[in-house]
Amino acid sequence: MKYYIQTFNKYLYLLFNLISKDFKIKYRRSILGILWSILNPVLMMVVITAVFLNLFKFEIDNFPIYYLTGSTIFSFFTDATTSSMTSIVGSGQIIKKIYIPKYIFPLQKCLFSFVNLFFSLIALVIMIIILKFEVTYTVILAPIPIIYILIFSLGISLILSSLTVFFRDIVHLYGVITTIWMYFTPIIYPENILSDSMLKLISFNPLYHYVGYFRDVVMYGKIPSLKVNIICIFFSIITLIIGSIIFKRTQDKFVLHI
C-alpha cells in the first residue's frame, strides 16, 4: 500500500496536467465556454419537462428539480465511463514510449467528469432558486452520494478501459447499454408507476440507489437509512475491487493491442 501511495503521489502532477488539458480542449473555441455546461442540463430539463409532463401526464411535484437531481447523477456516470472507456486506447502512443501507471488514464477521465459535475450542480442550484424550491439541512449530505457514484464510476471505468483494448466493439455497444440503463433508472418517471416485481428488479441497479440517495437529501429532506448507505457502499467498493483486479491482470498486455 505504501508503494502504491508513493507511486500515485509521484504522478499526481501529471494527473492534474492531463485534467487541465482536457478542460482546455473541451472549451477551446467555444463562445459560451463553461457557461454551456450550465445551460445544457437546464435546456434538457425544459425539453424533458415539456414532453413528459404534458404528453405522458406524469404527476410529479417539482418535476424540474426531480429530473435534474436524477439526470445530474446519471449524466456524470455516463460521461465518466464513456470517456474512460477509450482512455487506454487513446493514450497508446504515450504508453508505448514512457512508463506511466496505466490506471492514471481512466482515473483522469473520471476526475475530469467530476469537475464538470460541479457545473451541472450549479444548474441545479439555479433552478432551485428560480423555482423557489425549499431545501432543508439534509442538503449538506449531498456530497456523500456524489462520492459513492465517483467510486462506482471509477470501478466501471477500469473494467471498460481494460476490455476496450481487446474488444473495440464495446465502444459501440456501450451507448445502447447506457440508454437501457437510463430507462431502468427512475430519472424521468416516478417510481409509483412501477409494479412491486419491477421495483424488486430495479433494486439491483446501483444507480437507482445513488439517484434515490441524492434526491432524498436534496429534494425530500430525508436522511437515508444505514441500510441505504451500506447498499451504496457495497456497490461502490465491490465494483472498484473488481475493476482494479481486471485492470491489474490485463494491463501488461495493453501494449500489444493498442
According to the model, what pLDDT value does residue 24 have? 76
Which of 159, 138, 135, 134 lies closest to 228 in space, CA to CA? 138
Q: Report residue 4's pLDDT band, with 50, 70 and 90 as the boundaries.
A: low
8-36 confidence digits (pLDDT tens): 788 888 888 888 888 777 766 665 666 76
CA 12, chain centre distance (Å) = 22
**Residue 239 scores a pLDDT above 90:** yes
**pLDDT, position 205:** 96
Grid cell of 10 as nine digits: 509521484
Could you tell me which residue, 217 or 57, shows the higher pLDDT?
217
What is d(CA 121, CA 41) in angstroms, rounded to the nearest whole number? 9
pLDDT in tens, 107-137: 999 999 999 898 889 989 988 998 899 999 9
79 vs 22, residue with greater confidence: 79
pLDDT of residue 33: 63
Distance CA 191, CA 247 (A): 36
pTM value is 0.90
> Alpha helices, DSSP H only, in the chain?
2-10, 12-27, 34-54, 63-85, 87-90, 92-97, 104-130, 143-166, 170-183, 196-202, 206-215, 226-250
- For residue 228, give the nearest of 252, 243, 212 by alpha carbon: 212
* Residue recorded with cell 450549479: 122
Supply 59's cell numbers: 404527476
Does the structure show a pLDDT above 90 at 94?
Answer: no
CA–CA–CA angle 241, 18, 236 (5° rounding): 20
224 SS3 class = coil
DSSP annotation string for 22-75: HHHHHHTT-SSTHHHHHHHHHHHHHHHHHHHHHTS----TTHHHHHHHHHHHHH
The Cα–Cα gap between 21 and 115 comes to 13
Residues 6 or more apart whose CB falls under 8 angstroms from that of 65 comprise: 124, 127, 128, 131, 133, 218, 219
Average pLDDT over residues 78-96: 91
When computed from its CA atoms, the radius of gyration of the chain, rounded to whole angstroms, is 19
Neighbour count for residue 40 (Cβ, 10 Å): 16
